[in-house]
Structure 1
């Protein structure tokens, strides 16, 4: 790169939080509205995403819990009307409603999402990429902390028509660009981004983790 060159400008990208529906293992609670570290997980995620994306979508199967919060909210509520309970239907809904070609997808129970990882994913994204996602040290990929192109839609639609809800199943039909492990670890050495809460016990552990991280939390 010559002295006159500059890094490519990140492509416009929407962020979508998959809020799903009531969490049975949480006693029917709406996970996005649970508090961790004094704020709801939704508010924490929105604060992390704000300023980095063209728009923030909140994708929900049961939007009633969020409708009273819409006035003045920095997110747009969209309904995932598919009866199947699957993150893949949420990805489909986000892609259909997005106003940009690419959409970053995150689950609603990940308050430790690291800004540095967002920056790394956006920097890695190229116009021709259909999926950009982190590769973990164990070799697995994380499809719920990933960027998807609207070009994925026909493949997702065909897969849903077969009632196949495994997210990565269509990846061999599109252009996938993994974020290298070393880049992931440079952005999030302890892999805090991927810590979530599916049970009350995991929620309590997450709360304790957040409390222990408060002095060192990123505020960029």
Structure 2
């Protein structure tokens, strides 16, 4: 971003929590609804995201009623069956295009990553211009985390064409077609964990529960 370009403002951003996967390594079911000692993973994610954004939706497939208590709009993948994170990003773009005409970008957040940065949205927005379609992706410890990204809604048609044409569902393959920036984040100050630590396997839940014993909630 040049010094003459204005950064994106967060009031133009819709949050999209990606919970549309099948959780095979966890044994199936909804990782976002698993109990972590009185709170679910989704409770923890919302506690981090709500102070950053006023407008949030959930990307999930199947019966949306199981998420009713969270009082969030639920958008299913618009292409394929469990087609991966890019389909979730498209779900967010599609919802924004139809329901939030003032929104220019979505921020995608993984539904199994409870310690992501409290500065995520602000820093991603600060890294891109408001008037050009630049994708911003988060990183930590020199590793990219493409599920945590800021996506211009104007790329909706391109992404839909990409997925419907059967091209790879790998996030970076799509990102490489456009201007993008990487935003690096430090370890979570309370837990000491990588801020993008995600609970993929049953053993990872123990790590999350242990970290919650000393992370303020």
Contact 2:18 2:110 survives alignment (8 Å): yes
| 1:29 and 2:29 correspond | yes
The whole-number CA distance in structure 1 between the counterparts of 2:45 and 2:18 is 11
Match of 1:131 among 135, 138, 157: 135
SS state of the match for residue 142, structure 1? strand
What's the CA shift for 1:36?
2.4
The runs of 5 or more residues in structure 1 that have no matched partner are 1-6
What root-mean-square deviation, in Å, do the aligned CA atoms of Structure 1 and Structure 2 show?
2.4
Secondary structure at the residue paired with 2:121? helix
Whichever structure has more helix as a proportion of its residues is: 1
- The answer to whether the Cα contact below 8 Å between 2:15 and 2:56 also exists between their aligned partners in 1 is yes
The count of residues paired between Structure 1 and Structure 2 equals: 201
Shift of 1:156: 1.8
1:34-183 mapped onto 2 (5 Å cutoff): 34-62=34-62, 64=63, 66-70=64-68, 73-85=70-82, 86-98=84-96, 99=100, 100-127=103-130, 128-138=132-142, 140-160=143-163, 161-179=165-183, 181=184
Distance across 2 between alignment mates of 1:28 and 1:165: 21
Is the alpha carbon distance of 1:94 and 1:141 closer, same or farther for their aligned partners in structure 2, counting shifts above 3 Å?
A: same
Gaps of 5+ in 2: 1-5
Paired residue for 2:205? 203
